[in-house]
Amino acid sequence: MGSLESMNEESVTLDGIKIRYLVSGKGPPILLVHGLGEFLEIWTSNITGLSQEFAVYAVDLPGHGLSGKTNEDYTFGFSVNFVAKFIKALDLDKVNLIGHSLGGAICVGFTMNFPDKVNKLILTSSGGFTDEIPLSYRLVRLPLLSNILLGPAFLVNRATIRVGLRRQFHDPSTAPEDWFEIVSRHLKRPERKATIKNIVKSNTNIPDIESRITHSNIFPLVEQPTLIVHGRQDKLIPIENALNAKNLIPHASLEVLDECGHHPQIEKAQEFNDLALSFLKPS
């Protein structure tokens, strides 16, 4: 896993929320957007490689990682507008977006609302590829089950994290050793559980759910060149969803990584970095 020591950790305050981010390198900007319950460290195997040719920004979304939380509902619109405010605050020009899981769906939403701000798009094990609400989302909305699924902080340790990685990774042994310490630190943050519940509730309790957390209906409208990277053995978002998105997005290409689960950017970091650099380089 890459080291954060050579990267500049910064912060910016948006609407009263202190937002943590990392920046590394010079060149055209890349913004890395993590998924539900994640944190910017999911990109530390990629930032150094990508920053050889780009200015790379990795951000902790509100209520995630070491960023502050908001009192607003974490609707999909809130997340899209947050990305817009972050890009404006940092005075970034046209950006390349790389989103993982729910972060991929957020990147699609931003692209549709601010098309002149996006150069190219990479969707990594992205959410929003289907109109079906994930079972895990439905279960988290139930108070008793959510407490079991999210778990109390005192149960977070190397053993329980390793069990959780079985759903995240095709081969959990490929997870870097320092990953356990990083994950443990973030999972124990007291506000994390409330944030996840807020996000799920805010996006699954309205009639027009499909328009809020899925994008299959607007994929054909994405004009930007798009690269979809997906693990063949992804247990959270089936490969069939990525194949469907590739057929819907006009200028999309799909790279399927074998022996890979929900985190291609970690489990197949070098392959992911090579694919991203090749795709993002100016034609």
- Pick from 19, 18, 25, 20: nearest CA to 2: 25
| pLDDT above 70: percentage of residues in the chain | 76
CB 46 within 8 A of CB 265: yes
Q: Kindly report, residue by residue over 220-232, the tens digit of the pLDDT.
A: 889 999 999 999 9
- pLDDT of residue 21 exceeding 90, the answer is yes
146 falls in which pLDDT band (50, 70, 90)?
A: very low
pLDDT of residue 175: 79
- pLDDT of residue 17 exceeding 60, the answer is yes
d(CA 85, CA 223): 22
CB 245 within 8 A of CB 273: no
The helix/strand/coil state of 67 is coil
Considering the four listed CATH numbers 3.40.50.1820, 3.40.50.2300, 3.65.10.10, 3.40.50.1860, the one that applies to the domain covering 8-280 is 3.40.50.1820
In the chain, where the domains are located: 8-280
- Block residue for tokens 């900007």: 29
The C-alpha torsion from 143 through 238 and 243 to 56, rounded to 10°, is: 70
- Pick from 77, 129, 65, 135: nearest CA to 106: 77
- Pick from 39, 263, 271, 42: nearest CA to 171: 263
Q: Which two tokens stand for residue 96?
A: 């390349």
pLDDT of residue 237: 87
User: Which residue(s) pair with 105 in the sheet?
Assistant: none
Mean pLDDT, residues 198-220: 56
| pLDDT above 90: percentage of residues in the chain | 50
pLDDT of residue 199: 64
d(CA 62, CA 39): 10
pLDDT of residue 253: 97
184 C-beta neighbours (distance < 10 Å), count: 15
d(CA 119, CA 97): 8
- pLDDT of residue 218 exceeding 50, the answer is yes
Q: Cα–chain-centroid distance for residue 90?
A: 20
